[in-house]
Amino acid sequence: MASKFDASASAFPSRRTILKTVGVGAISLAGMPFLAACTGGSGPSAAGSASSGLTFGSGSSDDVPKRAYQALTDAFTAKTGKTVTTNVVPHNDFQNKINSYLQGSPDDAFTWFAGYRMQYYAGKGLLAPIDDVWQTIGGNYSDALKKASTGPDGKMYFVPNYNYPWGFFYRKSLWAEKGYQVPETFDALKALATKMKADGIIPIGFADKDGWPAMGTFDYINMRLNGYQFHVDLCAHKESWDQQKVTAVFDTWKALLPFQDPAALGQTWQDAAKALEAKKTGMYLLGSFVTQQFTDPAVLNDIDFFAFPEIAMEGKDSVEAPIDGLLLSKKGGDNKAARDFLAFLGTPEAQDAYAKVDNSNIATAKGADTSKFTPLNKKCADTIAGAKNISQFFDRDALPAMANNVMIPALQSFIKDGTVDVKNLEAQAKNLYAAQ
């Protein structure tokens, strides 16, 4: 999840993911200039060049997703006899070095994200198209997921594994004890936050040390005020930043600043999850992956969530539900085992293997097992299914340089003092998008 950038950030800046950050990873990047150096002494192609196996680069370094991908690769090996050499890299390092990684000696397959961030690297010729794989798995996906997996040249590049909605998560027992009610409007949200603050609780858990989480608040207020299409067009710079519609987003957000955790800029999303678990905060706007942090079953069963309340023009029609999955590097495209691995991911069998370990997300393949869905899983799935528009999150929908080099510092500055210079945002956007 996003902390700073690749050395070549001005041209190919890094990205956030939205998911699972720093945790474990058998590999440390300390002192290593390129992420590709983390794949082992002989380089990533050693195992991947043989048809009997492949290398797999994973930025899913937190314990739960790391074990879930291990279950997935184990299932693939058991089914095919083909080995997978997995190279786990701390999440922020993985995404922040992605350009150097792809231009160096990348693994055959690797974890990444749908939408613009996939299309950007496909357009640079750093990914292998997988139209043949989609001929096999296409029937397992909706048209929307197929569109999100398509490159700028019309070829297929991405295989979705899961997606997950963003919303406000909370402890049901705390809310029952205090008599809190789910807010349906922004005014009701502010009134609830005021009551929580009076009760001695930090109303809204917040963490932006890594830069990307605040984008979720920006996206939702923007979509609730200005609509989904404006969000998409602003990300593509078809709309300007120095207009009243953008100013209104920040003006509206200012009403929440007094209720958001004042320690946000020094906290990771995991820190804020712990505060929610401890009932120090009343609610927390994040993706459903937040539940990976709740290892106590009693706590997990006490978690619920609600959609970002309506503000103006579109009610609650749009939801942030980023899609995560796998890509092939350009080198990996020559490895049949790697193509077989992506084809396997596009099956209910593979996604069920993953979900048995990590059930914080919603499998994307048709036919995936939903019989063990918790009430929270079902609510997440229904929220996605009922949305008229699904956004990918700002740093997936926008130019990488705009997201990381411009928006992260701008949002962190706004969180700190409540000010933002939209004319400066527009000037930087003009330069960056014109350079593409």
d(CA 237, CA 215): 16
d(CA 252, CA 310): 12
CA 283 and chain centroid, separation: 20
Q: Give the model's confidence band at 218: pLDDT under 50 very low, under 70 low, under 90 confident, else very high.
A: very high
Q: Is the pLDDT of residue 231 over 80?
A: yes
CA angle 245–250–252, rounded 5-degree value: 90
Q: Is the pLDDT of residue 36 over 80?
A: no
pLDDT for the residue 97: 85
The most confident of the ranges 31-45, 95-109, 142-156, 410-424 is 410-424
pLDDT for the residue 190: 98
CA atoms 212, 213, 216, 219: torsion sign: negative
Asked which of 90-104, 225-239, 421-435 is least confident by mean pLDDT, the reply is: 90-104
- Record the pTM: 0.78
pLDDT for the residue 339: 98
**What is the mean pLDDT of the segment spanning 81-96?**
91
**What is the mean pLDDT of the segment spanning 108-129?**
93
Q: Which CATH class is domain 35-163+323-367?
A: alpha beta
Q: Higher pLDDT residue, 43 or 116?
A: 116
pLDDT for the residue 207: 97
* Helical (H) or strand (E) element with 297: helix 297-300
Six-digit token string for 93:
């390092």
Asked which of 7-21, 293-307, 326-340, 381-395 is least confident by mean pLDDT, the reply is: 7-21
Sole residue written with tokens 């048995």:
356
**What is the mean pLDDT of the segment spanning 355-366?**
92
* Helical (H) or strand (E) element with 207: none
Q: Give the model's confidence band at 19: pLDDT under 50 very low, under 70 low, under 90 confident, else very high.
A: very low
pLDDT for the residue 116: 83
Of residues 82, 48, 24, 34, the one with CA closest to residue 340: 82
The tens digit of pLDDT for each residue in 165-201 reads 999 999 999 999 999 999 999 999 999 999 999 999 9
pLDDT for the residue 30: 29
Asked which of 29-33, 96-100, 359-363, 367-371 is least confident by mean pLDDT, the reply is: 29-33
**Phi, then psi, of 55 in degrees rounded to 5:** -105, 145
The tens digit of pLDDT for each residue in 265-311 reads 999 999 999 999 999 999 999 999 999 899 999 999 999 999 999 99
pLDDT for the residue 130: 98
* Helical (H) or strand (E) element with 251: helix 244-254
Q: Give the model's confidence band at 224: pLDDT under 50 very low, under 70 low, under 90 confident, else very high.
A: very high
pLDDT for the residue 26: 30
Of residues 111, 133, 259, 94, the one with CA closest to residue 192: 259
Kindly give the pairing relationship between strand 303-306 and strand 362-363: unpaired
Q: Is the pLDDT of residue 14 over 70?
A: no
C-beta separation of 297 from 240 below 8 A: no
The SS3 assignment for 221 reads helix
Alpha-helical regions (H) of 28-62: 45-48
Of residues 397, 323, 401, 338, the one with CA closest to residue 106: 338
CATH entry, 166-320+395-434, from 3.30.1240.10, 3.20.20.140, 3.40.190.10, 3.20.20.70? 3.40.190.10
What percentage of the chain reaches a pLDDT higher than 90?
73
Q: Higher pLDDT residue, 77 or 9?
A: 77
pLDDT for the residue 2: 34
pLDDT for the residue 385: 82
The tens digit of pLDDT for each residue in 313-350 reads 778 889 999 999 999 999 999 999 999 999 999 999 99
Q: Is the pLDDT of residue 163 over 80?
A: yes
Exposure string over 80-118, b if 16+ CB within 10 A, otherwise e: eebebbbbbbbbbbbbbbbbbbbbbbbbbbbbbbbbbbb
Residue range(s) occupied by CATH 3.40.190.10 in the chain:
35-163+323-367, 166-320+395-434
The mean predicted confidence, pLDDT, of the chain is 87
pLDDT for the residue 9: 35
pLDDT for the residue 27: 27
Half-sphere exposure of 57 (CA within 13 A, CB side): 31
Q: Give the model's confidence band at 422: pLDDT under 50 very low, under 70 low, under 90 confident, else very high.
A: very high
